[in-house]
């Protein structure tokens, strides 16, 4: 005699669990359709969450491609400076940041790394730069 296939056991367990649950709780018994009685609408339903939170009413938003009649003109970039990227050793970065902190401590509230580097460029004597760098 062979044992029943696992597919045959699953519906029996599900039915048994529903029956035990309804017997052990004070919830009303399932309706004739098999669904439980409860709130008139589920406040956590995906439809309510999607339409009320994730998909707000956009009827007053401008339609795609119907913005201002003229395209927005890009502002001209400043010509008196450029943003650059340089490499420094960690100890040089620490020294630079220390100099900025010291300037701020001394009352230069707007001191920054660029200011310190600009001042160093003004003061450098090329004849005193060692060759080992």
For the chain, what is the domain count?
1
What tens-digit pLDDT sequence spans the chain (133 residues)?
555 555 554 444 444 444 444 444 444 555 555 556 667 777 676 666 666 666 666 777 777 665 566 667 888 989 999 999 999 999 999 999 999 999 999 999 999 999 999 999 999 999 999 988 5
Residue 97 maps to a domain: yes
Residue 48 lies in a domain: no
In a domain, 12, yes or no: no
CB atoms within 10 A of CB 116: 19
Is residue 46 included in any domain, yes or no? no
Does residue 110 fall inside a structural domain?
A: yes
3-state percent helix, strand, coil for the chain, nearest multiple of 5: 45, 0, 55
Q: Tell me how many degrees the CA angle 15-16-21 measures, rounded to the nearest 5.
A: 100
């Amino acid at each position: 005699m062979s044992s029943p296939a696992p597919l045959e056991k699953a519906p029996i367990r599900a039915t048994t669990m529903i029956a035990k649950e309804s017997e052990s709780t004070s919830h009303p018994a399932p309706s004739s359709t098999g669904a439980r009685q409860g709130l008139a609408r589920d406040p956590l339903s995906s439809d309510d969450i999607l339409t009320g939170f994730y998909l707000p009413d956009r009827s007053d938003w401008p339609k795609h491609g119907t913005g201002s009649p003229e395209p927005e003109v890009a502002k001209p970039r400043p010509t008196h400076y450029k943003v650059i990227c340089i490499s420094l050793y960690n100890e040089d970065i620490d020294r630079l940041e220390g100099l900025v902190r010291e300037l701020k401590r001394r009352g230069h509230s707007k001191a920054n790394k660029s200011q310190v580097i600009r001042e160093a460029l003004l003061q450098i004597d090329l004849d005193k730069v060692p060759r080992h760098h």
